[in-house]
């Protein structure tokens, strides 16, 4: 009976586990962290701003990223200040809001965003982008070391394959993965 239970547990861990590869989500997640992912509820509950998700990039590689903007949001990255900021119009209406992201500790580039695909504009002026239905704008928490929507463009709903629920390895860092962002008035 113990062998059957161990086999079932091993199967479930293989089915619902992923490992972080690289530093794009640092400091929230580190290279080698083992994550428990939810591949079931993500099929029924759409990803929300702030969720950490597992997505499949256009080349077929799985990536762990944070949802920054959801369908219907207007998004813009303004790199004119000392540090770039993400600006959002939730639902594409109302005043622009600044996304306060306490999990982002490093973002030194002078970049602007977004073209019609969600790609970085380099040193051009910021340009707002209204996200179409079923498209998400995703970034890594380590903005200086992440390949994300700024390079791949917007991710479709079908590319979001799981929601990260829990880090189980290393044991000393085990716990839920969250870190929701807050919206603040633009200064």
Q: What is the pLDDT of residues 137-158, one digit of tens each?
A: 999 999 999 999 999 999 999 9
**Residue-range definition of the domain harbouring residue 174:** 19-185
User: 142 pairs with which residues across the strands?
Assistant: none
Q: Indicate whether 97 belongs to any domain.
A: yes
> pLDDT, tens digit, for every residue of 84-104?
999 999 999 989 999 999 999
132 within domain boundaries: yes
**27 domain residue, yes or no:** yes
* Number of domain units in the chain: 1
3 in a domain, yes or no? no
Residue 5 maps to a domain: no
Residue 60 confidence (pLDDT): 86
* Domain assignment present for 7: no
Q: Is 166 exposed, middle or buried (0-12, 13-18, 19+ CB in 10 A)?
A: middle
How far is 125 from 122, CA to CA, in rounded Å? 9
Confidence category of residue 162, pLDDT binned at 50, 70, 90: very high
pLDDT at site 29: 95
What is the domain-level CATH number for residue 179? 2.10.109.10
Is residue 111 very low, low, confident or very high in pLDDT (cuts 50, 70, 90)?
confident
3-state secondary structure of 59: coil
């Amino acid at each position: 009976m113990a062998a059957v239970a161990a086999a079932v547990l091993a199967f479930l861990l293989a089915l619902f586990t992923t490992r972080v590869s690289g530093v794009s989500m640092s400091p929230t997640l580190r290279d080698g962290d083992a994550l428990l992912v939810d591949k079931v509820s993500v099929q029924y509950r759409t990803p929300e701003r702030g969720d950490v998700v597992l997505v499949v990039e256009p080349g077929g590689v799985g990536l762990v990223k944070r949802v920054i903007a959801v369908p219907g949001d207007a998004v813009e990255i303004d790199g004119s200040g000392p540090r770039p900021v993400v600006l959002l119009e939730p639902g594409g209406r109302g005043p622009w809001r600044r996304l306060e992201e306490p999990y982002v500790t490093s973002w030194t580039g002078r970049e602007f965003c977004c073209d019609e695909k969600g790609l970085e504009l380099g040193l051009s002026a910021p340009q707002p982008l209204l996200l179409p239905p079923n498209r998400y704008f995703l970034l890594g928490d380590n903005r200086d070391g992440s390949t994300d929507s700024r390079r791949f463009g917007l991710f479709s709903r079908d590319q979001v394959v799981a929601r990260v629920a829990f880090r189980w390895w290393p044991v000393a860092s085990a716990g839920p993965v969250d870190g929701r962002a807050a919206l603040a008035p633009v200064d």
